[in-house]
Amino acid sequence: MPAPFRSPLAPLEARLRLLLPPEVYAAAWLTPDAPTLTRVFEHLRTLQRVLYNYVPRRVSVAPPAPGQIRHDWQEGTLMFTDLAGFTSLLEANAAYGRAGAEALLDVLNSYFAQMIEIISKAGGDLLEFTGDAMLALFPADQRRADIAGADAPARDVLVAVRAGLRMQRAMASFANIAAAQGRFSLGMRVGLHRGRFLMADIGTPVRMENVLLGTAVQRTKQAESAGRVGRVCLSTETYARVASQFRAEPTDQGYLLLIDDLDDRALGEYDIAMGRRPASPLLLDRSLDGLLREIEQALCLVEPLAAYLPPPILGLLVQSAARRSIPPTFPELTAAFVNLLGLSEAVDRLPSGAEHALVANFSRLFAQIAAAVESRGGVLKNVTYHVSGPDMLIYFGVPNAHADDSLRAALCARAIRDIVAAAPPLEVGDALVPVACQIGVARGPAFVAEIGEPRGRREFNVLGDTVNTAARLMSRAGQNQILVTDTIRAAVEGELAATALPPVRLKGKAAPIPIFAL
Residue 277 pLDDT: 59
| Domain presence at residue 83 | yes
**CA atoms within a 13 Å half-sphere pointing along the CA-CB vector of 42:** 10
Pick the last residue of a domain from 267, 294, 324: 267
Inter-residue contact 349 to 214 (CB < 8 Å): no
Residue 507 pLDDT: 79
**Does 413 lie in the same domain as 392?**
yes
Q: Which CATH number does the domain housing residue 443 bear?
A: 3.30.70.1230
| Domain presence at residue 59 | no
**Does 409 lie in the same domain as 349?**
yes
Q: Give the torsion sign (CA, 423, 428, 431, 435).
A: negative
Q: Give the torsion sign (CA, 288, 291, 295, 300).
A: positive
Range of the domain at 10: 1-39+276-305
**Does 487 lie in the same domain as 353?**
yes
**Does 497 lie in the same domain as 353?**
yes
Residue 148 pLDDT: 43
Measured in whole angstroms, the distance separating CA 108 from the mean position of its chain's CA atoms is 16
| Residue 493 to residue 238: CA distance in whole angstroms | 50
| Domain presence at residue 321 | no
DSSP assignment of 24-44: HHHHHHH--SHHHHHHHHHHH
- The domain total for the chain is 3
Distance of CA 105 to CAs 72, 270, 450, Å?
A: 36, 27, 8
**Does 252 lie in the same domain as 108?**
yes
Phi and psi dihedrals of 426, rounded to 5? Answer: -80, 135
**Does 296 lie in the same domain as 154?**
no
**Does 344 lie in the same domain as 485?**
yes
How does pLDDT run across 335-345, given as a tens digit for each residue?
999 999 887 77
**Does 28 lie in the same domain as 134?**
no
What is the SS3 assignment for 377?
A: coil
| Domain presence at residue 298 | yes
Burial zone of 206 (CB within 10 Å; 0-12 exposed, 13-18 middle, 19+ buried): middle
Query: Angle between the 355-374 and 405-422 helix axes, to the nearest 10 degrees?
Result: 150
DSSP assignment of 440-486: EEEEEE-EEEEEE-TTSSEEEEEESHHHHHHHHHHHH--TTEEEEEH
The string over 314-335, giving b where at least 16 C-beta atoms fall within 10 Å of a residue's C-beta and e elsewhere, is bbbbbebbeeeebebebeebbb
| Residue 387 to residue 280: CA distance in whole angstroms | 39
What does the DSSP 8-state code read for residue 498?
-
**Does 386 lie in the same domain as 367?**
yes
| Domain presence at residue 215 | yes
Residue 142 pLDDT: 52
**Does 502 lie in the same domain as 359?**
yes
pTM of the model: 0.92
Pick the last residue of a domain from 267, 289, 313: 267
Across 17-104, the runs of DSSP E, i.e. the strands, are 70-84
| Residue 438 to residue 346: CA distance in whole angstroms | 17
**Which residues touch 171 (CB under 8 Å, ≥6 apart)?**
186, 187, 188, 230
Residue 276 pLDDT: 55
| Domain presence at residue 191 | yes
**Does 159 lie in the same domain as 81?**
yes
Q: Which residues of the chain have pLDDT under 50?
A: 144-149
Specify which residues 224 forms β-bridges with.
none
Residue 149 pLDDT: 47
| Residue 499 to residue 419: CA distance in whole angstroms | 22
| Domain presence at residue 60 | no
Closest to 119 in 3D by CA, of 72, 76, 64, 61: 76
> What's the mean pLDDT when you consider all of the chain?
90
| Domain presence at residue 12 | yes
Q: What percent of the chain has pLDDT over 90?
A: 72
**Does 104 lie in the same domain as 73?**
yes
| Residue 124 to residue 79: CA distance in whole angstroms | 9
